Structure 1
Amino acid sequence: MSDIALLSTVEQAGLIRRGEISSRELTEHFIERIERLDGEINSVITRDFETAAAESDSADAARQKGEPMGLLHGVPITVKDALQTKNLKSTGGATELQNNVPTNDAAVVASVRREGGIVMGKTNLPRWSGDIQAYNDIFGTTNNPWDISRGPGGSSGGAAAAVAMGFTSFEIGTDIGGSIRFPAAFNGVWGHKPSFGVIPTTGYLDHVNGGVNEADINVFGPITRSAQDLELLLGIMKRDSPPWVAELGSVPQNLNDLRVGAWLDDEFCPVDSEVREHLDKIVNELEKDGLSVDRTARPELDPDEGAMLGLWLVQRATSQSTDSDGPGHRIWLDQHARREELRLKWAQFFSNYDAVIMPVCFVPPFEHQQDGDFRSRTLICNGEERGYIDVVKWTTMVGMAYLPSTVPPTGLGASGLPIGCQVVGPYGGDKLTIALAGRIGDLMGGYQPPPRAL
Structure 2
Amino acid sequence: MDNPAFWSAKRQAAAIKAGELGSRELLELYIDRIEQINPDINAVITTDFKTARRVADQADKVITAGEPVGPLHGLPVTIKDAIETKGLCSTGGAIELASYIPESDAPVVNSVRRAGANIIGKTNLPRWSGDIQAYNEIYGTTSNPWNLDHVPGGSSGGAAAAVACGLTSFEIGTDIGGSIRFPSAFCGVFGHKPSFGIVPSTGYLDHALGGTTEADVNVIGPITRSAEDLELLLGILLREEAPWKPDLAPPPESLKDLRIATWLNDDFCSLDDVVSEKLNEVVSKLETENYQVTQNTRPDIEPLAASDLAFKLIGAALLQSQPESGFSHRDWLEAHRSRVGIQQRWAEFFEDYDIILMPVCFVPPFPHVQEGDFFTRTIECNGIARPYVDLIRWTMLVGMANLPSTVPPIGLGSTNLPIGIQVVGKYGADLTTIRFASAIADLMGGYIPPPIANLN
Decide which moves more: 54-63 or 284-293: 284-293
* Contact 2:174 2:219 (8 Å CA) reproduced: yes
2:35 corresponds to which residue?
35
Alignment of 1:339-358 (within 5 A): 339-358=339-358
Name the CA distance, whole Å, in 1 between partners of 2:295 and 2:418.
Answer: 23
Aligned-residue offset at 1:322 = 5.2
Aligned-residue offset at 1:324 = 3.9
Q: Give 4+ residue runs of structure 1 displaced > 6 Å after superposition.
A: none
2:243 corresponds to which residue?
243
* Contact 2:209 2:321 (8 Å CA) reproduced: no
For residue 192 of structure 2, give the secondary structure of its aligned residue in structure 1.
strand
Name the Cα RMSD after superposition.
Answer: 0.8
Name the CA distance, whole Å, in 2 between partners of 1:320 and 1:126.
Answer: 18
For residue 121 of structure 1, give the secondary structure of its aligned residue in structure 2.
strand
2:296 corresponds to which residue?
296
For residue 325 of structure 1, give the secondary structure of its aligned residue in structure 2.
coil
Could you tell me the TM-score, scaled by structure 2's length? 0.99
Aligned-residue offset at 1:325 = 2.6
Name the CA distance, whole Å, in 2 between partners of 1:201 and 1:64.
Answer: 36
Closer/same/farther in 2, CA of residues 392 and 323 from structure 1, 3 Å limit: farther
Aligned-residue offset at 1:296 = 2.5
Name the CA distance, whole Å, in 2 between partners of 1:290 and 1:72.
Answer: 37
Task: Give CA deviations for 1:97-155 in whole Å, capped at 9, x if unaligned.
Answer: 00000000000000000000000000000000000000000000000000000010000
Q: Work out whether 1:140 is the aligned partner of 2:140.
A: yes
1:442 corresponds to which residue?
442
Q: Work out whether 1:416 is the aligned partner of 2:391.
A: no
Name the CA distance, whole Å, in 2 between partners of 1:241 and 1:373.
Answer: 40
Alignment of 1:110-125 (within 5 A): 110-125=110-125
For residue 92 of structure 1, give the secondary structure of its aligned residue in structure 2.
coil
Name the CA distance, whole Å, in 2 between partners of 1:67 and 1:14.
Answer: 14
Name the CA distance, whole Å, in 2 between partners of 1:165 and 1:324.
Answer: 42
* Contact 2:55 2:118 (8 Å CA) reproduced: yes
Amino acid of the residue matched to residue 385 of structure 1? A
* Contact 1:128 1:321 (8 Å CA) reproduced: no
Amino acid of the residue matched to residue 339 of structure 2? R
Q: Work out whether 1:305 is the aligned partner of 2:276.
A: no
* Contact 1:316 1:326 (8 Å CA) reproduced: no
* Contact 1:206 1:321 (8 Å CA) reproduced: no
Identity of aligned residues (%): 57
Name the CA distance, whole Å, in 1 between partners of 2:214 and 2:296.
Answer: 36
Aligned-residue offset at 1:360 = 0.2
Amino acid of the residue matched to residue 96 of structure 2? E
1:428 corresponds to which residue?
428
Aligned-residue offset at 1:224 = 0.1
Task: Give CA deviations for 1:320-371 in whole Å, capped at 9, x if unaligned.
Answer: 3656434111111011000000000000000000010000000000000101
* Contact 1:191 1:222 (8 Å CA) reproduced: yes
1:48 corresponds to which residue?
48
Name the CA distance, whole Å, in 2 between partners of 1:259 and 1:223.
Answer: 26
Name the CA distance, whole Å, in 2 between partners of 1:203 and 1:186.
Answer: 26
2:11 corresponds to which residue?
11
Name the CA distance, whole Å, in 1 between partners of 2:200 and 2:110.
Answer: 11
* Contact 1:144 1:152 (8 Å CA) reproduced: yes
For residue 306 of structure 2, give the secondary structure of its aligned residue in structure 1.
helix
For residue 356 of structure 1, give the secondary structure of its aligned residue in structure 2.
strand
Task: Give CA deviations for 1:185-242 in whole Å, capped at 9, x if unaligned.
Answer: 0000000000000100011111111121000000000000000000000000010111
Task: Give CA deviations for 1:142-191 in whole Å, capped at 9, x if unaligned.
Answer: 00000000010000000000000000000000000000000000000000
1:153 corresponds to which residue?
153
Task: Give CA deviations for 1:239-286 in whole Å, capped at 9, x if unaligned.
Answer: 011111011001111111100001000000000011000000001111
Name the CA distance, whole Å, in 1 between partners of 2:392 and 2:124.
Answer: 20
